[in-house]
Amino acid sequence: MTEPDRLFLADLARAAQAVEACLDGLLSPEPGADEIARPSRLLAAMRHGVLNGGKRLRPYLVLESARLCGGDRQAALRIAAALECIHCYSLVHDDLPAMDDDDLRRGQPTVHIAFDEATAILAGDSLLTLAFDIAAAPETPLSGESRAALVVALARAAGIGGMAGGQALDLAAELSPPDEAGIVTLQAMKTGALIRFACEAGALIAGADAATQASLRRYGEVIGRAFQIADDLLDITSDAASLGKATGKDEGRGKGTLVGLRGIDWAREELGRLVAEAEDLLSPFAEKGETLKAAARFVANRKN
């Protein structure tokens, strides 16, 4: 591991800690203003789904892209927490019996196993809802206009035109394998959209100029693609023990992946190309862009 990569992992861990603390506070038993009560079992299920020691890559990307653009740290922290609520809700719902039917996540029982299916559905719904509350609330120290813009960008990344739509395409892919273009669209929606939002969010938080926003947006697309290819590679090359979840499933279900279509060598080359593009996109930021360059390398080379 290189020194910048070591620094990156320390940064990532620090960011995860900050976001975890923020999420812990947001998922408190005290009802917020205009809330009637927070039923304890539902809250426990939400906390189980969120406070699970994730790597918090997406929150990290929000914090770092905001820092790069000079955005407010507290605002970035809350947008990072909102985004993580959406990422975690999607995992809770994807794990349901009617979807991927997974019993374990990070070595722990999934929410519908630890609680029950109805509670898992409601916990996901409530996390999704809470995300928009967090982003839009005045406690996020941004103008109303910026908060509203972040809500819209987050909703479009998460909804039918982004993550949820990608999950629908993924279900359809089990019945009828998509062609290469179909796979690219599916992955850009299912995993790419939230990662792109994470990177673009910094520019929105800081009110950066259009060129900066476009660079970060493209950077987000590039590392989103690298993330998915690395995931597909891992699915083929890893075993369950090192990942902590079932592997080889996508293959077994006949879902196409780019790695399956083009092969492992192509995938490794493509990852190199994507990292290079990400690094290029960050070069105008000089020294300040180093952490996000390291993030691109981490995403492409991750081992779990």
Q: Which residues are at the interface with a second copy (CB under 8 A)?
A: 31-39, 41-43, 46, 89, 93, 96, 98-99, 116-119, 121-122, 124-126, 128-130, 132-133, 135-138, 143-149, 151-153, 155-162, 164-169, 171-172, 185, 188-189, 193
- Of 5 and 117, the one with the shorter C-beta distance to a second copy is 117
Contact 42, 111 (CB under 8 A): no
In whole angstroms, the minimum distance from the beta carbon of 30 to a second copy comes to: 10
In whole angstroms, the minimum distance from the beta carbon of 9 to a second copy comes to: 31
């406070």: which residue's tokens?
A: 51
- Of 51 and 152, the one with the shorter C-beta distance to a second copy is 152
Q: Which two tokens stand for residue 183?
A: 């796979």
Contact 207, 75 (CB under 8 A): no
- Of 109 and 165, the one with the shorter C-beta distance to a second copy is 165
Reference 23, options 58, 70, 67, 68; nearest CA is 58
- Of 105 and 293, the one with the shorter C-beta distance to a second copy is 105
- Of 104 and 121, the one with the shorter C-beta distance to a second copy is 121
Distances (CA, A) of 229 to 138, 184, 187, 258: 38, 10, 9, 7
In whole angstroms, the minimum distance from the beta carbon of 239 to a second copy comes to: 28
Distance of CA 232 to the CA centre of its chain: 16
Distances (CA, A) of 106 to 101, 150, 244, 296: 15, 30, 6, 23
In whole angstroms, the minimum distance from the beta carbon of 11 to a second copy comes to: 28
In whole angstroms, the minimum distance from the beta carbon of 283 to a second copy comes to: 26
Q: Rounded to whole angstroms, how far apart are CA atoms 223 and 275?
A: 7
- Of 4 and 159, the one with the shorter C-beta distance to a second copy is 159
């994470």: which residue's tokens?
A: 198
Reference 150, options 189, 204, 191; nearest CA is 204
In whole angstroms, the minimum distance from the beta carbon of 161 to a second copy comes to: 2
